[in-house]
Amino acid sequence: MTPPRTLVEKIWAQHVIGAPQEGRDLLHVDRHLLHDLAGVISLEEMEARDLHVLRPDLTPAILDHTVSTLPGRGPVTTRISERYVPTMERLCAQEGIPLFRLMGRGQGIAHVVGPEQGLILPGLLVVCGDSHTTTHGALGALAWGIGSTEVTHVLATQTLYQAPQKQHLYRLTGHLRPGVGAKDVILWLIGRYGTAAGAGAAVEFAGPVISDMGIEDRMVLCNMTLEMGAKVAIIAPDQKTLDYLEGRPFTPTGAQWEAAKADWATLYSDPDAAFDLVREVDCSQIAPQVTWGTTPELVGAIDAPIPDPEAEADPARQRLMRAALDYMGLMPGQVPGDLPVDWVFIGSCAGGRIEDLRNAAAVVRGRHVAEGLTAWVVPGSTEVRLQAEAEGLDRVFTEAGFEWRQSGCSLCSAANGETVPPGARCVSTSNRNFVGRQGPGARTHIASPVIAAASALAGHIAAPLEAGA
């Protein structure tokens, strides 16, 4: 009789293909997403070593990090894209790797394109040379980011050595307040439990709050679980998962779809499965969140005063808070809702999906960006952009004074040369606010799309009701 197992343990066991080596299992990889930074570097190494990609059909490649999002862009719009885009195109053609080309409908951020194309399915083992690969756990996949050496190993062998992770369960209960969404929930969790809470573990989310969430909100939650230190984030597939996946370009059809659904119905943690850590979280207490420091852990309610480092007992945290306040140009006791804003960025794999844009547009409609403020909307993929344009969302934003741009990572990581100016304060729907993340000297406040939209209108960090939405 099989002992009770967690969801992660079930998927893991299905992918073990070799005997353990130094405490690590050899796992088969179902999907290996390549993007134009880690992907190019590893493909160039493969070429230099006269190695070839074993399963190019399982290695979809996507242009996202280095591409310009400027309207009317081309493949070599910037110095950075001139280096990476043609190289990616050449090496993918050489190896027979399917590439979502820059000017095609499938282009976008890897963690947006994978789910929307149906490349990510429940029960798959998915890796990518990008830390926010945890996003795909929202569909019941076992997914994590890997380093460049591992990328090369997967390209050559379609396998990966990996040590089993500890198992954590977060059961989210209660009901979210109006105006509170997945970004607020995950920021609150990071602030409450810290950036080391996951400690390289596999974190499963469950409970009524998860059941109520749409798939795109679940992706936001799983995306930023990495910022709690987790290696994996996952949610058991349910009817919402099936509804989201059905009919997508790479989703199974016909008899294969029916067989897949039957298999996915077994993907859940058994009632008596053992977790190393279980946390029950009442989410009804969560208010709209915004970061004030240089890590997602330094976060609080939008109307809560910034804490004083001197009140902290831990010397290391004191130093972190002092350095963050100095970089951000802030003082203890200031309230984020009082802070003037220079830039607003709505986009990224944590804030650039169609639901994000719909929610932001509902706040913006009929109003205008504050004078002197720069506001960008960067759809997470070309499909998202086209859907938004079909719904007229682009006009809502442009008539309000936002710049409507092409799809890509853009200001989330600034790897393409698009940056926030030094010293400028930016409300961003992205997932990281490290020093220099959006450009040298840029001051980033992570928040939800509705807070970003309201802040653009108000000229200071604001919740939608404050902005009169």
346-393 pLDDT, tens digit each: 999 999 999 999 999 999 999 999 999 999 999 999 999 999 999 999
- How far is 45 from 28, CA to CA, in rounded Å? 22
The pLDDT confidence band at residue 79, using thresholds 50, 70 and 90, is confident
Last residue of a domain, one of 162, 184, 200: 162
Is the Cβ–Cβ distance between 381 and 463 less than 8 Å?
Answer: no
Is the Cβ–Cβ distance between 138 and 215 less than 8 Å?
Answer: yes
Q: Mean pLDDT across the stretch 6-31?
A: 94
Asked, for residue 437, whether it belongs to a domain, the answer is: yes
Amino acid symbol at 246: E
Q: Mean pLDDT across the stretch 416-435?
A: 96
Mean pLDDT taken over the chain: 96
Sheet holding 403-404, edge to edge: 403-404, 374-378, 343-347, 425-428, 443-446
Residue-level pLDDT at 67: 94
Asked, for residue 24, whether it belongs to a domain, the answer is: yes
- How far is 49 from 26, CA to CA, in rounded Å? 23
For a pLDDT cut of 90, what percent of the chain falls above it?
93
Asked, for residue 244, whether it belongs to a domain, the answer is: no
For a pLDDT cut of 70, what percent of the chain falls above it?
99
Last residue of a domain, one of 133, 162, 191: 162
Asked, for residue 275, whether it belongs to a domain, the answer is: yes
CB neighbours of residue 288 within 10 Å = 28
Q: Please check whether residues 121 and 48 belong to one and the same domain.
A: yes
Amino acid symbol at 217: D
Q: Please check whether residues 346 and 265 belong to one and the same domain.
A: no
Is the Cβ–Cβ distance between 109 and 407 less than 8 Å?
Answer: yes
Q: Mean pLDDT across the stretch 115-143?
A: 98
Handedness of CA 457, 460, 461, 465 (dihedral sign): negative
Q: What is the pTM of this model?
A: 0.96
Q: Mean pLDDT across the stretch 336-350?
A: 97
Asked, for residue 45, whether it belongs to a domain, the answer is: yes
Q: Please check whether residues 124 and 43 belong to one and the same domain.
A: yes
| pLDDT tens, residue by residue, 4-17 | 999 999 999 999 99
Q: Mean pLDDT across the stretch 456-468?
A: 82
Tokens coding 468: 């009169």
Is the Cβ–Cβ distance between 121 and 18 less than 8 Å?
Answer: no
- How far is 297 from 303, CA to CA, in rounded Å? 17
Q: Please check whether residues 281 and 293 belong to one and the same domain.
A: no
Q: Mean pLDDT across the stretch 138-156?
A: 97
Residue 467 has pLDDT above 80, yes or no: no
Q: Which of 281, 270, 279, 267 is nearest to 237 (CA)?
A: 267
Residue 430 has pLDDT above 80, yes or no: yes
- Number of structural domains the chain divides into: 3
Q: Mean pLDDT across the stretch 234-238?
A: 98
Residue 312 has pLDDT above 80, yes or no: yes
- How far is 66 from 56, CA to CA, in rounded Å? 22
Asked, for residue 217, whether it belongs to a domain, the answer is: yes
> Could you tell me where the DSSP H helices lie in 174-281?
182-193, 208-212, 215-225, 239-245, 254-264
Q: Mean pLDDT across the stretch 209-229?
A: 98
Asked, for residue 467, whether it belongs to a domain, the answer is: no
Is the Cβ–Cβ distance between 210 and 172 less than 8 Å?
Answer: yes
Crossing angle of the two packed helices 354-364 and 449-458, in degrees rounded to 10: 30
Q: Please check whether residues 117 and 173 belong to one and the same domain.
A: no
Q: Please check whether residues 321 and 381 belong to one and the same domain.
A: yes
CATH number at residue 411: 3.30.499.10
Q: Mean pLDDT across the stretch 34-62?
A: 96
Residue-level pLDDT at 468: 39
Tokens coding 384: 């998202």
Widest pairwise Cα distance in the chain: 68
Asked, for residue 66, whether it belongs to a domain, the answer is: yes
Containing domain of residue 172, as a range?
167-237+260-285
Q: Mean pLDDT across the stretch 184-188?
A: 98
Q: Please check whether residues 196 and 278 belong to one and the same domain.
A: yes
The pLDDT confidence band at residue 461, using thresholds 50, 70 and 90, is very high
CB neighbours of residue 107 within 10 Å = 22
Q: Rounded to the nearest 5 degrees, what angle is found at the Cα of 216, between the Cα atoms of 215 and 219?
A: 90
Q: Please check whether residues 200 and 277 belong to one and the same domain.
A: yes
CATH number at residue 178: 3.40.1060.10
**Three-state SS annotation for the chain:** CCCCCCHHHHHHHHHEEEEEECCEEEEECCEEEEECCHHHHHHHHHHHCCCCCCCHHHCCEECCCCCCCCCCCCCCCCHHHHHHHHHHHHHHHHHCCCEECCCCCCCECHHHHHHHCCCCCCCCEEEECCHHHHHHHHHCCEEEECCHHHHHHHHHHCEEEECCCCEEEEEEECCCCCCCCHHHHHHHHHHHHCCCCCCCCEEEEECHHHHHCCHHHHHHHHHHHHHHCCCEEECCCCHHHHHHHCCCCCCCCHHHHHHHHHHHCCCCCCCCCCCCEEEEEEHHHCCCEEECCCCCCCEEECCCCCCCHHHCCCHHHHHHHHHHHHHHCCCCCCCHHHCECCEEEEECCCCCCHHHHHHHHHHHCCCCCCCCCEEEEECCEHHHHHHHHHCCHHHHHHHCCCEECCCCCHHHCCCCCCCCCCCCEEEECCCCCCCCCCCCCCEEEECCHHHHHHHHHHCECCCCCCCCC
Please report where in the chains the tokens 């002992």 appear, as a residue.
3
Q: Please check whether residues 220 and 86 belong to one and the same domain.
A: no
Q: Please check whether residues 297 and 342 belong to one and the same domain.
A: yes
The pLDDT confidence band at residue 469, using thresholds 50, 70 and 90, is very low
Q: Please check whether residues 175 and 127 belong to one and the same domain.
A: no
Q: Which of 1-5, 124-128, 230-234 has the lowest mean pLDDT?
A: 1-5
Task: Name every residue whose Cβ is closer than 8 Å to that of residue 149 and which is 6 or more positions away in sequence.
Answer: none
Last residue of a domain, one of 162, 178, 200: 162
Q: Please check whether residues 217 and 142 belong to one and the same domain.
A: no
Q: Mean pLDDT across the stretch 163-183?
A: 96
CB neighbours of residue 166 within 10 Å = 16
